[in-house]
Amino acid sequence: MAKFRTNHSKQTRGAASKDTIVKVGLFGAIVSGLFFIFNQFAGGGRTTAEEEAVVEEVPFEDYEAPYYLPSSTTGEIIHHTYYSLSYSEEHEQAEWVAYILRRDSLNKPWEKRSNRFLPDPKVPSRSATHRDYSNSGYDRGHLVPAADMAFNRTAIDETFYMSNISPQSRNFNKGVWRELEELTRNWAKKFKQLYVVTGPVLTDEIKGQIGENRVSIPAAYYKVLLDATEPELKAIAFLLPNEISYEPLFKFTTSIDHIEELTGIDFFGEMLEDHLEEELESRFNVDLWEFNKKKFEDRINKWNKD
């Protein structure tokens, strides 16, 4: 797994420069002030009647969606109501999903999970199906977690589209991946909102394929987090092997530059001035992201064994 070793050489331990803070204030205002509704409907592949997605239409005027997206290596970007993704037909899953995770959404009462995995009706080439994962030995792992989108029925139901699902080792999905997802929600509550990009590493050797649609089993996954709220711009990335882990989560932190080199995806090139992009993506400060010892102990003592 040497190819997935995290890179700590670029880690920094200081506050951002005054120049950066000023620009962060401007960027934060832009992010907070723009409202964009993803209401594009792409043609979908044919599904059986029982697999057709049925989601309610809800007002979106209070939802802040990202007005920029990472680059796509496939050119197949799909917009769902509360998140977007870049689909890889070759691997039958998203190469990334992107959305804003907000404190006020997380504080709303949670809808119950349907656990009804559906082909994505917006993937023209047809997505994988839930049957591809049956008896495969791998979990149907969410890229956008259902818990991140539990604030209404439409949001949570759309996380069960198969384009948002990737084959994950059970003890990875229930263990270190769960810990990172829960911490991300904690950080979103603390910082008010986070821009989240998550995906499998599909540019390196995969672990195999499953199902009739030959869904690729990634060897690793990444998560990129940006806090653009005042007074300090900060970002961090994680790179985790698709396997059980007994290491502390901070051991898997790395620079955004490293994830970009590994995946060929440009995360913030459309929104930041060059010098700010360089500063943000080449360095990270673990001290600005509070880790949770209790969650780590729960993973080691319980989640890894479930």
Residue 161 sits in a domain of what CATH number?
3.40.570.10
Q: Which two tokens stand for residue 119?
A: 């082909």
Which residues are registered as beta bridge partners of 111?
none
3-state secondary structure of 295: helix
Q: Residue 228 has what pLDDT?
A: 79
Contact 258, 239 (CB under 8 A): yes
Q: Is the pLDDT of residue 99 over 50?
A: yes
Residue 36: name the closest of 95, 81, 87 by CA. Answer: 81
Local structure of residue 53 (DSSP, 8 states): -
Instruction: Find the domain containing 122 and state its range.
Output: 2-305
Whole-angstrom distance, CA of residue 139 vs CA of residue 214: 15
pLDDT in tens, 23-52: 333 334 333 333 333 333 333 333 443 333
Contact 211, 131 (CB under 8 A): yes
Compare 22 and 292 and report the one with higher pLDDT.
Answer: 292
Q: Which two tokens stand for residue 236?
A: 């961090």
Which residues are registered as beta bridge partners of 200?
221
- Please compute, for residue 300, the number of CA atoms within 13 A of its CA located in the half-sphere on the CB side: 10
Whole-angstrom distance, CA of residue 5 vs CA of residue 277: 23
Residues 6+ apart with CB under 8 A from 261: none
Contact 92, 132 (CB under 8 A): yes
Q: Residue 44 has what pLDDT?
A: 36
The residue type at 118: L
pLDDT in tens, 177-216: 999 999 999 999 999 999 999 999 999 899 999 999 999 9
Local structure of residue 118 (DSSP, 8 states): B
Residue 207: name the closest of 167, 248, 254, 155 by CA. Answer: 167
Please report, for residues 191, 250, 283, the alpha-carbon distance to residue 233 in angstroms, rounded to integers and kept in the order given. Answer: 11, 19, 12
pTM here? 0.79
What mean pLDDT value characterizes the chain? 80
pLDDT in tens, 207-255: 999 999 999 999 999 999 998 776 778 899 999 999 999 999 999 999 9
Counted domains in the chain:
1
Q: What percent of the chain has pLDDT over 70?
A: 73
Distance separating the N- and C-terminal Cα atoms of the chain: 25
Whole-angstrom distance, CA of residue 250 vs CA of residue 248: 6
Q: Residue 64 has what pLDDT?
A: 45
Task: State which H helix or E strand residue 188 sits in.
Answer: helix 176-191
Q: Is the pLDDT of residue 143 over 80?
A: yes
